[in-house]
Amino acid sequence: MVDKLARYRSKRSPSRTPEPVPAPAPLPHGADDTFVIQEHHARRLHWDFRLERDGVLVSWALPKGLPADPATNHLAVHTEDHPLEYASFAGEIPKGEYGGGRVEIWDRGTYECEKWTDREVKFVLHGGRADGRYALIHTHGKNWLIHRMDRPPADNQKPADNQKPVPELIRPMLATLGQLPPPAEDDEYGYEMKWDGLRAVVYMAGDGRVRVVSRNDRDATVAYPELCALGTALGGVPAVLDGEIVACDPAGRISFMALQPRMHVRDRAQIERLRERTPVTYQIFDLLQLDGHPTIGLPYAQRRELLESLELHGPRWDTPSYTRGGGARALAASKEQALEGIVAKRIESTYEPGRRSGAWIKVKHTRTQEVIVGGWAPGKGRRAGTVGALLLGIPGPDGLDYVGQVGTGFSRETLDELQRRLRPLDRRTPPFARPLPTRDAKDAHWVTPKLVGEVEFGEWTRDGRLRQPSWRGLRPDKSPDEVVRES
């Protein structure tokens, strides 16, 4: 008789792996009704799908898990048969061994077989998380497709009892401004490009729903409908991602100014028009939770390895690579690509939600500063009747410290948007902690300091003013109490 487990045994040594490795013997006889799905954190994260058949577990690797609905088929790669004892296996396969990595039971239960041939397998699953009618269809070689034949019931909108819900809020970890790490510490850091956009945490529920939350905890999902399709990218596996929403200028360069029109709009019809003219892309650089398991306590390098194993590369999202060491080369490459700079992240650092941490260092080519608008001066000449300059502040120990005016970097659309947002904030008295220079205060209109913006500038003057500032845009993703002076 053919030894169905010979290939399985040839890949494993019982002395080196905790997996069950039975000696050659007659196969046990079961009821041919057991299924198991194991989440396998190997070199590439995938899900191992196994059906009991004739004394073994016939197995397929699912890179994206089970499809959530009939509209989407997923790849299924046929692998070697496994022993029946594998249906209860969970543990750590040592690194260097075949399939090295952590194995967890994602779901198990019973199934009803409707059809089993070399070309097609049809079955109904009865599990805690996997429940429905499916078909495996052989395409060529080891490759099959797995297709959901029925639609999930409406009450599947809530998580199963054994599935942890996606958290309501994980605040993003923040970087500190600094210089490249010294050469002796270069290999202790991973280097990423610094994306000039809007920071966002994306929550992907198991039912395919997506929620986009900005840095100041505002739900921005409606503003970026391009990202809703991300919910099906993992085949119903819930996850929480951290990244940056970016847009490109007409020359194809990532531009914060290009993103500005998308930041403030909530009208669906207008969003659809802007979506055609200025599409956005989500640059993913961290993984905060996967399949109900928090990952924030893992080292940066391990989180990145898990993230990259998900292969999240789509029409409006991407997972850019990072480099370990080579900070000077990464900084030079970012300048060639007209990017803002790079972020150096300690390889062994964990994720610190909501904290500005020294484990992440942002290294910029140009100096930028977040500011709070405390007033505005009327324009003259061609700018008569609109904003001529904004009066800017940064929180200090005694209140809002005045740091100067900005009167350049405005487009016509920007000026109109500023006037619309400043008008309801009018107040009679200046919001600054100390009196302004007479020249700056003359004819000024004061506003309640709620609007946050960003400027590019040359340097700080001795009296704490911004030299040659240029307006970059409003930052609706940030609140006034988050603004700090960056040296």
Catalytic amino acids?
194
Q: Name the phi and psi angles at 59, rounded to 5.
A: -125, 145
**DSSP symbol at 183:** G
Residue whose C-alpha is closest to residue 286's, from 273, 303, 265, 264: 303
Q: Contact, 149 vs 70, CB < 8 A?
A: yes
**DSSP symbol at 376:** E
**Residue 1: how many other CB atoms lie within 10 Å:** 5
Sequence-separated (6 or more) residues with CB below 8 Å from residue 446:
374, 375, 426, 427, 428, 429, 430, 431
- The pair of structure tokens assigned to 265 is 């709009």
Cα→Cα distances 399→308, 372, 395, 396, 449, Å: 44, 12, 6, 5, 11
Instruction: State the Cα angle at 138 between 132 and 143, rounded to 5°.
Output: 100
H or E segment and range at residue 194: strand 189-194
- The pair of structure tokens assigned to 14 is 């019982």
Sequence-separated (6 or more) residues with CB below 8 Å from residue 183:
none
Q: Contact, 200 vs 221, CB < 8 A?
A: no
- Radius of gyration from C-alpha coordinates of the chain: 28
Residue whose C-alpha is closest to residue 453's, from 423, 428, 429, 418: 418
User: What is the rounded distance in angstroms from the CA atom of residue 2 to the CA atom of residue 23?
Assistant: 14
Q: Contact, 326 vs 391, CB < 8 A?
A: no
Residue whose C-alpha is closest to residue 477's, from 244, 130, 291: 244
User: What is the rounded distance in angstroms from the CA atom of residue 280 to the CA atom of residue 315?
Assistant: 10
- The pair of structure tokens assigned to 102 is 């952590």
